[in-house]
Amino acid sequence: MTEQSSSLQNDIGPRASLRDLGRFVLRPRLPTQIPRFSATVLPRVFKLYALDMVLMCLMLGAFLAVEMAGTEMPSNAFDEIDLGPRWIAAIVLCAPVAEELAFRGWLSGKLGALLGAPVAAVGVFLLAGALVAAPGSGDMGGMIIAGFVIVALGAGLFFWLRNRGPYRWFTWAFPLLFWFSCIAFAAIHLGNYEDTDQMLWPLVIPQFLAGIIFAYARVTYGLWSSMLLHALHNGTFVALVLVAEAMAPGT
């Protein structure tokens, strides 16, 4: 029995999940085997989602306190988005799949993942772009066809090379690669803010913390789990925005 399977069987509650995550963060290492989808690990994935929400609430409270103290927060590009069905689908479905493929899909260290994940991510980003693009703004049909073709190519690489184990160099360098994925995921979200003289890195601490949880889930339970967590994360905040808009005076 592997250490991974033993850990899953000995799951005794939220403290065990938090303890395992803490150990992983202190000493990131690639498990000997990443399990496939299984309903038995879903409770642990939802515990990670609960932890993610607790951390996000703490960060939101900190940002609100800073703003109430008189600091003006830079505007976010998403403040200008009209959350219609297409944008909701892009944020809740496409973005989690594309970003998990791009930033964490390759964290298994297997050749199929190293090659297939970035390729498939490009395809999903194209499909997301086609989904939210304004009518008549470009060759929508071409973007959709190209997106599906590239996704199929990436999936083919995943499947064709699925039995090749992780490289030794990847296992050795995994701690650095793990933190690189978390920092890169946070850094890409700096683009959500307009150019300003303010220090923006503190604003993407939530994405950095979420990236740690998503990366841990990816290498502990599989890529499906980080995609699910990411979708739940985005979906929760989209739902909160929609509720806030519906309750706003004059709506």
Residue 11, judged by CB atoms within 10 A of its CB (0-12, 13-18, 19+), counts as middle
Domain count for the chain, please give it. Answer: 1
- Please give the single-letter amino acid code of residue 106: W
In a domain, 3, yes or no: no
Residue 139 burial (CB count, 10 A)? 11
pLDDT recorded at residue 13: 62
Mean predicted confidence (pLDDT) in 142-160:
94
For residue range 184-197, list pLDDT tens digits in order: 999 999 988 876 66
In a domain, 220, yes or no: yes
Round to whole Å and give the CA distance between 94 and 167: 29
For residue range 107-121, list pLDDT tens digits in order: 999 999 999 999 999
Average pLDDT for the chain? 88
Token representation of residue 175: 């701690």
When pLDDT is cut at 50, 70 and 90, the band that residue 198 belongs to is low
Mean predicted confidence (pLDDT) in 154-173:
91
When pLDDT is cut at 50, 70 and 90, the band that residue 79 belongs to is confident
In a domain, 95, yes or no: yes
In a domain, 43, yes or no: no
Domain span including residue 95: 49-58+76-247
Whether the Cβ atoms of residue 223 and residue 100 lie closer than 8 Å to each other: yes
Size of the chain in residues = 251
In a domain, 210, yes or no: yes
In a domain, 199, yes or no: yes
In a domain, 4, yes or no: no
Mean predicted confidence (pLDDT) in 205-217:
97
Mean predicted confidence (pLDDT) in 50-56:
95
Round to whole Å and give the CA distance between 90 and 109: 28
In a domain, 70, yes or no: no
